[in-house]
Structure 1
């Protein structure tokens, strides 16, 4: 095992992270259970939840997925992470989270609900990238849809290559 892999594994253990369905690793760190639940179209939700989210060389992609809630991302450490967001009108927005703010990287980023989002770990010296996400209304898997490659390509054919790169083949 390389030192980079060992460091990523040490973070997974230290933060008690589990595999995430979209790729990478996560753990819920907070839910606003001291507040009244919010009524949403999908049912009652916490006012806010937060997670750690880690991408590694072994799991470098958070596949395209759709969330109904707003999410604020906070970069912590490691290599930069590139986010690709496809808006309802088909426009593509790409941002890089990382600690080199003078090079245009972002320490925090807001992604409104209703956007298809994917992330990928960029090359770097660490072999991992660690962020946190604060979600409001609080995250519930019922409010998340994993991207279906064929459906996304049919809806956004101009982004075919990116969608193929950042989704799993359903076959």
Structure 2
């Protein structure tokens, strides 16, 4: 198998399709948990202190706009650079280049603050990006929210171009 293609990493790491797009596998989770009374954000029940996944995105796919109640720290691992697109809580759009070409503005890790709406795309064509994502407090699908184009355009019409690229027309069932 060619180590320079997505299928190699999907197979060797046992990655599965993710609802936001791409492939993932949970790799670590803390044994320690915290209760909802100890957290500054409203969670139902307890959360692990952190969870971590591998996430692989091909250039023919996007990670659709979504939101988490927790901070998410992204780490570059392999493949092409990844662009992380963020609409923060104030409606400001920013993009971050996740990679190792520091001379061209890439960085090896990016923090997406809790309650931001974000997604990602691969910079180069016919390739992929393999990253790691650590979420704290730990990720649970009940804290994961996907968005349609209409929902986001109603709130952020000034970001129409990126919303049309990264938001679902209809959320898949």
TM-score of the pair, normalised by structure 1: 0.90
User: Secondary structure of 1:23's match?
Assistant: coil
- Report if aligned partners of 2:119, 2:166 keep a CA contact under 8 Å in 1: yes
Once residues 25 and 101 of structure 2 are traced to their aligned partners in structure 1, the CA distance between those partners, rounded to angstroms, is 26
Structure 2 unaligned spans of 5+ = none
Once residues 35 and 50 of structure 2 are traced to their aligned partners in structure 1, the CA distance between those partners, rounded to angstroms, is 9
Once residues 79 and 104 of structure 2 are traced to their aligned partners in structure 1, the CA distance between those partners, rounded to angstroms, is 16
In the other structure, the counterpart of 2:27 is: 29
Once residues 161 and 22 of structure 2 are traced to their aligned partners in structure 1, the CA distance between those partners, rounded to angstroms, is 21
TM-score of the pair, normalised by structure 2: 0.89
In the other structure, the counterpart of 1:7 is: 5
Deviation at 1:88, TM superposition (A): 1.9
In the other structure, the counterpart of 2:109 is: 108
Deviation at 1:72, TM superposition (A): 0.8
Q: 1:89 to 1:37 in 2, by over 3 A?
A: closer
Structure 1 unaligned spans of 5+ = none
Deviation at 1:169, TM superposition (A): 1.0
Once residues 77 and 35 of structure 2 are traced to their aligned partners in structure 1, the CA distance between those partners, rounded to angstroms, is 29
Deviation at 1:160, TM superposition (A): 1.1
Count, aligned residues: 165
Deviation at 1:36, TM superposition (A): 3.3
Q: Which runs of 4+ in 1 moved over 6 A?
A: none
Deviation at 1:91, TM superposition (A): 0.9
* Residue number among 46, 52, 55 corresponding to 1:53 in the alignment: 55
Deviation at 1:99, TM superposition (A): 1.3
User: How far does the alpha carbon of each residue in 1:102-129 deviate from its partner, in whole angstroms, 9 at most, with x for none?
Assistant: 11101001111010001001115x7110
- Report if aligned partners of 2:59, 2:121 keep a CA contact under 8 Å in 1: no
RMSD: 1.8
- Report if aligned partners of 2:75, 2:110 keep a CA contact under 8 Å in 1: yes
User: Secondary structure of 2:6's match?
Assistant: helix
- Report if aligned partners of 2:64, 2:168 keep a CA contact under 8 Å in 1: yes
User: Secondary structure of 1:10's match?
Assistant: helix
Once residues 12 and 62 of structure 1 are traced to their aligned partners in structure 2, the CA distance between those partners, rounded to angstroms, is 16
User: Secondary structure of 2:153's match?
Assistant: helix
